[in-house]
A and B are shown apart, each in its own frame.
Chain A
Amino acid sequence: MNLKSLPDATRIAILSAWRGRARGAAVFSGVFLASLVITTVLAYGAGLMSLFLTTAVEYEEYDYRVEMHYPMDGKNRTTDVFAFESICEDILLIDGATDCSITAGLQGRHTESFWGRDVPLQTLELMSIDGPDSNWTNIDLSCAGCDDNGPPTNGYRAVRMIGDEAFDGPMYDRHSQRVISGEWPTSGEDAVNNRSIVIPASIANSAQVDIGDSFSIFNFTYNSNSTLPCEEVDVDGNPKDATGFFQSAYGFDNEYEFCRVTISLENLTVAAIFDDRTDSSPLISNQPVYIPWSLLSSEQMVELMAGDHTYLAVTFDRLQLDTSSTSAAESDLRSWKNQIDGYYDSDNDGVNDIRIRGVDMIGSVIAFLQILLYFVQAFDYIIMIPIIFLSLSVLIYGLILSLEQRRREIAVNRVMGASSKGLTRMVLAEMTVISTTAWFAGYLIAIFAVPFILSSDGFMQFDVSWSDCLGLNNGDCNLVDTPSLTLKSTILTAILTIGISVGFSFFRTRDFLRTEINEGVAMVSKVSRSWFWLHVLVFLVGFIALLDYYFDKSSSIDYNIISNAILDGLMTVFGPFLLWIGGALVLAKLGAKGPQLMQLLLSRTPLIKDIKRGISGSGSAEGVGRLAFIIVLTLSIVTMAAVQGYTGTAVDEKAVDLSVGSDLQVTFANPLNESEAISIVSQAWEQGDSNLNPEINAATVIQLFASLSDDEYNVVTVWVVTDEAVDVLHWSNQALPGEDYHSSLNLLKQEGTFTHGGSSKYQLDVSTGNTYSFDMVTNPFTGETTSKSLVDLGQHSWVPGMSSNIAENVIFIGESTARSWLNNSPFISDDNIQSLIWFFSLEGLLEEKDGENLEQLSIQLSTNEQVSSVTDWSTSHDEVSKSGGLIFGTPGLLSLQFVVSAMAAVASSFVFLSIVLNQRRKELSILQAIGASPSQVMRLVLFEILSITIVSMLLGGLLGIGISYGFNGLFNLFGLIFQTFGGAGTAIDRDLIWPILELFQVGGILLLFVLVALLVTTRKAISSDLATVLKGE
């Protein structure tokens, strides 16, 4: 074909595609689905990265630290503060740079590789504080938890000294966004004049600090580059009073000893308290205390500069950062770094021969996120495989049907002199037009849908107001920004979808033309080989994998089908897919036999008495088989998506129940009773601006100790579940033994019962149903013990609000048991239980605006001096949905899968139904011609197609149940990876939830659509001119 004819060829292809759209509908659907799914997962990945990044770097105030190129004692360094600060003027000339300030804190890292670094970094560490206003003795300055989530950095609370520039401009915005009490100083001058200090809320809570309180002494240490301050000796060689002290630190391989020198500041005033609860990245877990750099003397400044503690903190406009992919973000960061490094990049250049280098602060966060994102995307692709398979099936069937419908057209073209090559080109041109349109439609819808998917916080639950987003209300649509796909990714989706479609078209058309051309010779067309037995084999292998998984999980069956661990693992991963694909292929055959099956049930009814003969031959047509296959396939996906979606949401919620335990968990500074605790929460609530008036209830769990009467050294922790705790805590089946936690709670309420944890079972050697005698010290003054016999109710896995490690090692008793046991204890009296930790239920608050009110209350409480710490369900849920049982956004993808499959079920039924009925128009006309009434024909078609639909739907649902079980193993595996990665220590059972109502709704809607489609198409078929239909092909 010459180029001059290209426009004409394209016009013909578009014309054929449009006028023959009925035959191309299935091809369109297939490519559309594939494009929608692939684009969604890619765009979702980009959006997720952007969200992760935004969240992760939200509390990282600086983008780059600019430090001196060579380490301490090296060349091209300076201790001239003015000269160092003046570099900022040059850096601010870089496009995108917004602010720059001298800062002192963590020592420079002068090694290339993060993991290769052996010497632990040393921060400025807060060693001691004191003052007249607050209870400083409460504060534990050692930062015990700081090493938990990352590499060892330091053992004490970090101190960060910031220059004057950091108190205004863009750095003011970044610093002040976390302030929950007081105000971030608005200028360096203010900060120095007021001797301002900004402290984390956790320190403020412990010390019950108020804004304006002062520190009389503030001692922090820095790591000296010489041992002299620690080993100062007099002229006789005897040690003088050293100004420093030695401190040990552990690197990855060695132990190091540092000489720490103390700097004391006096009369500092608390200007602001910031929220340090969010530790988005393990690399920034130790939240520092901020003090102005200018409070130091010149000598101290020089000392810190010589010790490599100072750097220039630089901020860039993050909106200029391309977050569409990690590589794009990294590329931008690299570009900025290169520009920074471009200044003073040679050893004998620049101001005072200083040489600097930029270290990006958020690149490491990106690297961390990238690893997580790979897992997330791998998992997302896995859960989207069913839809991809569905779209390919629809595409292939569509192609076959489309070619079959073009048989006559192809013959006519051959007669007109079309060569095989020309015909293939003609078909491919049309398919390219259809596929390109379908790809584009799928692409657009995916890009539109992704912000909603990212806003999902549970299966079919979205964190946005639809009416606001559709402009029906005046409210704000708090959707995340639409992620943009890179050109490379966009081209990839196009190549994958259009390429697959055109590729399949090519091979199919070639085979089709080959058959067509041979047909003149062979009167009997070649029967294609049946793969039925292969399908059965695949189905059976998948089914065995399912049984194996079921037996593994079932407590009552102690039998393993697959004992080989490797094979077992492979079956866990691939079994569900084999079951699903094989099952759909095999069960579809059964679905196509729906009319015969239904006939067995209804043969004696008058409904089908007169059309029995017509039914006996139905179900054999190929189109009918395809209709059955598509219904089985889509319904199984719908079922799986709904079951796993609801299950995943429940797992996330359970994870929150486990960590928070109730709507709100508050740790108080001093033991309080119930009414005191409620009063504090009520006051905090009233200080908010909500009009709601929730009923606040509180409960606590009291810790006691007991030992077995026959083994006094075998001491176990006893937790008392109060009666209020039964109502206030978020219980679920896994929390207590037995199938029904309500009855278990009732049993625990009864006097003389207990439950044991996994470890305490072995410690005490107890077993369910038996009675054991325990001793407890009931009078701490006299040491008097009281014995009590308790019946073991069974094993609890976890308890709301309690770490699973603790729950493992304790036993639980009810309040009535505790009261009768400790009747005279001063710790517990009839109407006054005192405790540090209280759980609260605030009726109806979680439903309101997704717990926004609860989050506000939580922040309000955290500033209260009587409150040590507070966690609320809603904030925890946000965090858990990022790193919990299911990964952040997956419920959104499963929601998409659910909606798309349900729509695909309806749409493809429509398409295939019209094709089936079109194929059968002649048959229906013959029936009428030989005397069948329109009513009989209508009933015949209705009965036949509805039978196929209903039977296929039931089989699809059944298969869905099977694959939901099967995929549970795979989901568990990924859940475990995510939990390990996210640092969560709790493995929560994925007890499947069966959303019967939703599934019936989808089934009902599908049936309704099929019925409407049937009535319309059959009526059309019946009312068409008999003679024309019978005469034509």
Chain B
Amino acid sequence: MTVEVPILEADSLYHVYESKAEEGNVVALRGLSVKVNSGEAVAVIGPSGSGKSTLLKSLGGLMSPTAGRVFLDGKDLTKMQGTDLVQHRRSTVSFIFQEGNLLPHLSALDNVMQPLRHAGVDAVEAKKRAIKILERLEMKPRMKAIPEQLSGGEQQRVAIARALITKPKLILADEPTGALDPFTSQTVIDLFKELHEEEDVSFLIVTHSHDVGEFADRSLELRDGRFVAQHGEGVELGDLSQNRELIIDDLGTISFPPDILLELGGPGRYTVGEVEPGRIVLLSEEASKVEKSNERNWVKNCPACDYDYQGSEENRCPSCGSSRPKQ
């Protein structure tokens, strides 16, 4: 029997942002737990303000959560600080962001070398490794260009090269394709897939992208600072109700995603009708009167290029590649 070793494990994470505003403090994470195994790719999906970025920072050791523990490659990040924390993070994890976040004054090559400089690797060795990795990502011919001379896709490839140069066990990515056009996005995702398969790198990716969701082994649905559901491979972001598994956490709490709550009849009191292993029936007693919204339909024409879908159920425009919104 193979034992799955977690590269990342978070246990009951809470994070509270202090605020002097009238609304009081903001609770960004509410007792959240998650586990990512070695070589696994996990996507985190959720609406804006659900706590995705806070989660990523906490898991990557960039920020200390208010409560809870984070184990990265077996070490508790919440108990580490200073140089130990930086060194452990440096050897374990890399980050990729939406905008690439390259240093504007340095060339592509210097940007890729930068993490090795911080790690104290000598310049000659760092340069050799950086060129090698840029070559692999087909960026060697552009390695002397500074970021403003690079296209969005090229910048993101440099950012990926920079993330890979330290040979991380885990890559934490925050909307890595968010700022890219669909075709460049696909290239990036292909690259992720390649890395995932060939290098056995684990991924935790915060995304809104359908394709990224498809690439992940599983997707976690984040709402109001806690995971409410998990999806298997190939989750359709436009329709989360498919392929959805609700999560009951260790405290026995279950959070319903809004669409299920809507379907259920809204918040309120329910009586437990029937309980069997793996099955529960809830009966509405005083549920709020929540009006069901009408089923939303796909738009008939592409808003970008006016392509006529002619009644098909496609969710991407075959003409311009943009995603198909609902009415």
Contact = CB atoms under 8 A, between A and B. Distances in A.
A419 B105 contact: no
Nearest to B89: A417
B106 A16 contact: yes
B103 A412 contact: yes
A7 B122 CA distance: 11
Nearest to B66: A521
Contacts, number: 81
A558 interface: no
B95 A5 contact: no
A1 interface: yes
Please indicate which of the listed interface residues A412, A414, A417, A421 has the most CB atoms of chain B within 10 Å of its own CB.
A417
Nearest to A1032: B99
Given A2-B122, A4-B123, A419-B86, A12 B26 contact: no
Given A16-B106, A413-B114, A521 B101 contact: no
Interface stretch (B14-22, B181-189, B230-238): B14-22
A510 to B, nearest CB: 14
Interface in B80-122: 82-83, 86-87, 89-90, 95, 97, 101-106, 110, 114-115, 117-120, 122
Given A2-B120, A4-B123, A415-B62, A520 B57 contact: yes
A409 B104 CA distance: 8
A19 interface: yes
Contact of A417 (B18, B106, B110, B166): B166
Contact of B103 (A5, A409, A419): A409
Interface in A511-527: 520-524
A12 B110 CA distance: 8
Contacts of B248: none
A20 B105 contact: yes
Contacts of B101: 408, 412, 415
Contacts of B90: 417
Contacts of A409: 103-104
B64 interface: yes
B301 to A, nearest CB: 25
Interface in A416-447: 416-422
Given A4-B124, A7-B123, A416 B20 contact: no
Nearest to A421: B83
B162 interface: yes
Given A19-B105, A417-B86, A417-B115, A5 B123 contact: yes
B117 A9 contact: yes
A421 B118 CA distance: 10
B63 A413 contact: no
Contacts of B120: 1-2, 5
A8 interface: yes
B91 to A, nearest CB: 8
Nearest to B58: A520
A1030 interface: no
A228 interface: no
Contact of A15 (B26, B105, B122, B166): B105
A7 B126 CA distance: 13
A606 B126 CA distance: 63
Nearest to A524: B20
Nearest to B146: A19
A980 B124 CA distance: 69
Contact of B26 (A417, A419, A523): A523
A68 B106 CA distance: 75
Contacts of B123: 4-5, 7-8
Instruction: Give the interface size class of chain B.
Output: 35 or more
Contact of A416 (B63, B83, B114): B114
Interface string B59-88: 010111010000000000000001100110
B203 to A, nearest CB: 16
Interface string A7-45: 111001001100110000000000000000000000000
A28 to B, nearest CB: 16
A420 B60 CA distance: 17
Contacts of B105: 15-16, 19-20
Nearest to B107: A15
Contacts of B97: 415
Interface string B224-251: 0000000000000000000000000000
A419 B83 contact: yes
B62 A524 contact: no
Contacts of A5: 117, 120, 122-123
A15 B117 contact: no
Contacts of A413: 103, 114, 118
Contacts of A520: 57, 62-64
A1026 to B, nearest CB: 17
Nearest to B92: A417
Contact of A8 (B18, B117, B118): B117
A8 B122 CA distance: 9
Contacts of A416: 95, 114-115, 118, 162
Nearest to A409: B103
B106 A521 contact: no
Interface string A594-605: 000000000000
Please indicate which of the listed interface residues B110, B118, B166 has the most CB atoms of chain A within 10 Å of its own CB.
B118
A8 B130 CA distance: 14
A419 B63 CA distance: 14
A945 B114 CA distance: 40
Contacts of B124: 4
Given A409-B103, A413-B103, A419 B110 contact: no
A415 B95 contact: yes
Contacts of B104: 19, 409
B82 to A, nearest CB: 8
B314 to A, nearest CB: 29
A419 B89 CA distance: 11
A415 B20 CA distance: 28
Interface in B268-296: none
B222 to A, nearest CB: 19
A429 to B, nearest CB: 11
A521 B16 CA distance: 8
A413 B114 CA distance: 8
Interface string B156-167: 000000100010
A419 B18 contact: no
Nearest to B25: A523
A524 B16 CA distance: 12
A20 B90 CA distance: 27
Contacts of B118: 413, 416-419, 422
9 contacts: A5-B123, A412-B103, A416-B95, A416-B114, A417-B86, A418-B86, A419-B82, A521-B18, A522-B17
Given A409-B104, A415-B60, A418-B86, 16 more contacts: A1-B120, A12-B106, A12-B110, A12-B117, A15-B106, A19-B105, A408-B101, A414-B62, A417-B86, A419-B86, A420-B82, A521-B63, A521-B66, A523-B17, A523-B18, A524-B20
4 smallest CB-CB distances across A and B, nearest first, come from A417-B90, A8-B123, A520-B63, A19-B105
